[in-house]
Amino acid sequence: MKLLIALTLVSFAVGAFSQCTCPTSKWAVCDGTPCQCTLLVGDNQKQAVDCTKLIPKCFLMKTQMQRARTGTIGSKPVETALVDDDWMYDPDCEVNGKFKARQCNGTEECWCVNSAGVRRTDKGDKNLKCDVLVETYWLRMQMTHKELAKEVDEAQLKTGIENAILARYKLAKTFVKEVQYDKDARMIIVDVKKDKDDTKEDLTRVGWYMEKDIKELPQFNNQEKFEPMVGGQKMEMDSILVYYVDAKAPTFTMKHLTGGVIAVIVVVILAVVAGLLVLFFLRRREQARYSKAQPREMDNM
């Protein structure tokens, strides 16, 4: 009898341990009763996370940078995987997982970011002031899907994409404002928005998770891909671009633009000026012809 009780307790303990995982992060380490999960965000530095929700992007970026430093992140999964070097840095995070308004990446060079951690000002030194974290209130996710075996109904596609996003990323339906579809380009555009003054709901997590799902590998513990069911067939995504729109416009200036960008701007301006000059001289020539024609017509009267 005692042996049976002992086996039962062991089985229960094993079952409890196997359930101690983090569904929303493959990088989290979980243990204890009750189950507690942490991310390694620095050398011997652990960050507690709530695995019932999407993990804040700032914590995930820190973990990714830590894994890259220690060589545990692995190689690029596919040739088409993209890395935006401008925003991949080791961020400073608030206790709640939000980005600090000023980021320096451990250097003397600093810049201001939005709530998605994306740079929105010119770079400066450590005297740069970033008073308040500017909220990103609108995400536009532009995706293309691979060719399907058969055509799908547009209304079914929009519903299927919306339902997949709501379920996978634990997003409330009110935030998905519009789903557009261009059949010829195989392009899907999803607009996710909140009120400009809403600082509680963090929509930027959805953008991070979706980019990883499509460009690289899922962030979830379950490595199933984001492949919505539409019209009885799986829709595999091919690419994604995520645009972040802030409650306040960014404040970039000309002085930090690269030479190539400045050259393009100058060429465009010169082309516009040249076009205006051509129109001006054509107009003057037409006026001259008109003024010469007038006396001849009067002489014939």
pTM above 0.95, yes or no: no
H helix intervals, the chain: 2-19, 57-70, 154-168, 204-215, 259-299
CB atoms within 10 A of CB 89: 19
| C-alpha separations of 94 from 38, 45, 58, 59, 120 in Å | 16, 15, 9, 9, 19
For residues 141 and 193, give the distance between their C-alpha atoms in angstroms, rounded to a whole number. 11
**Positions of CATH 3.30.70 in the chain:** 136-246
For residues 216 and 211, give the distance between their C-alpha atoms in angstroms, rounded to a whole number. 8
For residues 117 and 245, give the distance between their C-alpha atoms in angstroms, rounded to a whole number. 12
CB atoms within 10 A of CB 102: 18
| C-alpha separations of 105 from 7, 13, 111, 126, 128 in Å | 52, 43, 9, 11, 14
Q: Looking at residue 246, what DSSP letter applies?
A: E
- Domain 136-246 bears CATH identifier 2.40.30: no
Give the type of residue at 199. Answer: T
Give the type of residue at 162. Answer: E
Residue pLDDT tens, the chain, 301 long:
454 444 444 344 434 445 799 999 999 999 999 999 999 999 999 999 999 999 999 999 999 999 988 876 555 555 544 345 456 799 999 999 999 999 999 899 999 999 999 999 999 999 999 989 999 999 999 999 999 999 999 999 999 999 999 999 999 999 999 999 999 999 999 999 999 999 999 999 999 999 999 999 999 999 999 999 998 899 999 999 999 999 999 988 865 555 555 555 555 666 677 677 777 777 777 666 655 555 555 455 5
Tell me if 97 sits within 8 A of 56, measured CB to CB: yes
CB atoms within 10 A of CB 27: 22
